[in-house]
Amino acid sequence: MTTKELQNSIIQKVLRTDDDQLLDYLNTLLSEGDENKIYQLSDLEKILISESQVDYKSDKIISNEDIISRNEEWLKE
């Protein structure tokens, strides 16, 4: 499929949808290519980052391998 055909196919699908959530997502996704736009963290994201930094500095971290192992054990229950 050529670029032009793919673009037209996507446009037709967008025109047919009434799903506002999907359209909002597509709009956000396509807007992310705007190099002049700076992402603004939400208040929740700022809080989570701060908490993560405190945990990291306090050595209260768990390796990815341990998390995966714990999740696998939990799923077996």
Can you tell me the mean pLDDT for 25-51? 85
What per-residue confidence (pLDDT) applies to 33? 64
Question: Which of the two residues, 35 and 62, has the higher pLDDT score?
Answer: 62
List the alpha helices (DSSP H) in the chain. Answer: 3-16, 20-31, 43-57, 64-76
Q: CB-based contacts of 23: which residues, under 8 Å, 6+ apart?
A: 14, 17
DSSP letter at 60 equals: -
Q: pLDDT at residue 40 above 70?
A: yes
- 64 CA to centre of own chain: 19
pLDDT over 90 percentage in the chain: 75
* Predicted pLDDT of residue 6: 94
Overall average pLDDT of the 24-44 stretch: 81
